[in-house]
A = this chain, B = another copy of it.
Amino acid sequence: MKEKYCISTLFLGCLLVQFDSSVFAQDSPWGYRCDGDTSKCIKEEATDPLIQTSFAQCKLTCNPYGVLWPKPTSVSLDDQVVPFLPSNVTSAVVAPPNVASLLDEAIAIFIDNLHKNYPKYSQDMTPRAGPYKSAANNHILHLDITVTNSDDRLSLHTDESYSLALATNGDVSTATIHSPTYFGARHALETLSQFTEYDEPLHALLIITSATIEDSPVFPYRGVLLDTARNFVQITDIERTLDAMSANKLNTFHWHITDTHSFPVYLTSRPEMTHYGAYSSREIYYAREIMHIVEYGRIRGIRVLPEYDAPAHVGNGFQWGPKEGLGDIAVCVNKEPWASYCVEPPCGQLNLANPKMYDVLGEIYSEFVNFFGPIDLFHFGGDEVNLNCWNTTEEIVNWMIENDFGLSEDSYYDQWGVFQARALQLLTTANGDQKVPGILWTSHLTEAGRIEKYLPSDDYIIQIWTEETDPIIGELLDKNYRVIFSNYDHWYLDCGFGAWVGEGNNWCSPYKGWQTVYDNNPIEIASRYSTTFDPALILGGEAALWTEQADGEALDSRLWPRCAALGERLWGNPAHNWVLAESRFIHHRQRMVRRGIQADRIQPQWCHQNEGLCYA
């Protein structure tokens, strides 16, 4: 074990004779010491620069959780490291054939992520000259992966757990991964990639020599919402978002793909929708692109969840209706003054009075199921219906009167309820008569007195977007509704910027810092309102980026690293707040940047190098 000892204490004496003074002159005088009491890496001037511990080595081994993000359920890490190169990875897979081929892709991504640990200006991966150059060149990282189950699509019941054991024997480190499913094994590879760091003095990767992990998520639904209708987002930007999500074990990309503003989805059955509704001919998602994103997500352990928001949040794209003899599919489209007919410009709602509207809705669902399927969930949207729009549209008012529905608020809620029931039925038909749970935003329809009437708890999951102080949280749980948290006071990522109508700051200001994102504990919030709820009703949570003021350009800055904070909250739901997570979080942000994600800086780099000294 002499060799291993020497390698793993690389900067504690073994290299003394190897560096000449000219090399030393380029090196940093700073080293790092792991403080056993605080588990922090302390930057200090080495009495002899050659016997210092490097930043990478200290970070990998000092904290009991290393630099793992999100924090696994159970972790044991060695404090020794060995150098290796990303080119020296081998693997053996035991899994059903469909899973084995997915694992091939996951392993390729893993190796790519190892390469990305190097500083971006480094093309040359030859280790620095010295006695450990050959050690690094010769060391093998072997992956031994076993998956038992052939499931290759996520559902709310997928077992995403895994175990990961890493052991080093001579020139070989073996990572043994066991998981019931592909999804757990993929998570294991992500964790394993976080056992590695680029080491500046050696110009090679370091990996912890041994570790044991048992891990599984607390919540089955861990999502990020992206709105691509207020502003269009390119496919490459969505791919990058999925890359970043997979680094945080987030598993649901909620694609709010259409809205009143634009309809960017090319429908084979209704090309008129993009002809009238896309912002331009270059701002359209075609079937092959959506299917590519669905597959891209699946490989990365991510469900791509479609939302077709209705009956409000529709409008542009439907202008062809009257011309083709179908009448108005949508009403109040771009109607002025907008504040009378919707919550933000432009307005638009589906035309309840037009039976042809349901034909078109069925066509849309049908194509969505085709693009995104097989689906295990569907998002119906369903918030912010403006009754005044319907009640000032002559065709609808006449229809309400002719059918003896009345014109009261309740009458309109009744018809909204009828609409939703029809929508569920149409979706089920489009999905080959397979009913899947539908998700709906909290709205006037989910309030007490209405929800029981219109929305069976077996059929619907409710996504809560109001504040953590909204008593509806307790009501929903007490009525046995499954819920997803997206309370805007913590998880709306568009908040805090300038207003986009008028001046001042936008409606949900202030900006939600990562600490605010991290500290939003769904179980703790729910416990304030209900003492009897079944925790299994809380499926998880989701951060939302509504894109009135974002597109692909600032996408990463809005999402990251704040969604990483979400990732740890939803994976492990830690009992502690952000303070104990800060040091790993700061480090994880740097990792994401190396992987090509333009995540925001959280602190000066001095704070990263001087752990714990940037306190309030």
Contact = CB atoms under 8 A, between A and B. Distances in A.
A203 to B, nearest CB: 11
A610 interface: yes
The A interface is mostly helix, strand or loop, or mixed, namely: loop
Interface in A334-367: 334, 336, 338, 345-346
A334 B553 contact: no
B554 A607 contact: no
A124 to B, nearest CB: 14
A600 B319 contact: no
Given A498-B513, A511-B498, A614-B501, A26 B281 contact: yes
A24 B28 CA distance: 64
A183 B172 CA distance: 64
Contacts of A282: 119, 121
A499 B616 contact: yes
Contact of A232 (B345, B553, B605): B605
A100 B45 CA distance: 53
A338 B598 CA distance: 31
B557 A501 contact: no
Contact of A28 (B280, B548, B605): B280
Number of copies: 2
A502 interface: yes
A515 interface: yes
A346 B612 CA distance: 12
Nearest to A320: B29
A279 B346 contact: no
B498 A613 contact: no
Given A613-B338, A614-B500, A553 B510 contact: no
Contacts of A599: 553
Contact of A334 (B547, B548, B605, B613): B613
Given A557-B557, A602-B549, A606-B346, A496 B510 contact: yes
Contact of A605 (B231, B281, B502, B614): B231
B515 A499 contact: yes
Contacts of A504: 513, 515
A139 interface: no
Contact of A550 (B338, B601, B616): B601
B511 A497 contact: yes
A601 B554 contact: yes
A294 B283 CA distance: 39
21 contacts: A28-B280, A200-B281, A261-B606, A279-B606, A334-B613, A345-B606, A345-B615, A346-B606, A496-B505, A496-B510, A499-B513, A503-B513, A503-B519, A509-B510, A549-B601, A550-B600, A550-B601, A553-B601, A554-B598, A554-B601, A557-B557
Interface of A: 25-30, 45, 119, 121, 200, 230-232, 261-262, 275-276, 279-283, 316, 319, 334, 336, 338, 345-346, 496-505, 509-516, 519, 547-551, 553-554, 556-557, 578, 593, 598-607, 609-610, 613-616
Given A345-B615, A548-B601, 9 more contacts: A28-B275, A283-B605, A345-B606, A345-B614, A346-B613, A497-B600, A501-B616, A548-B603, A553-B600
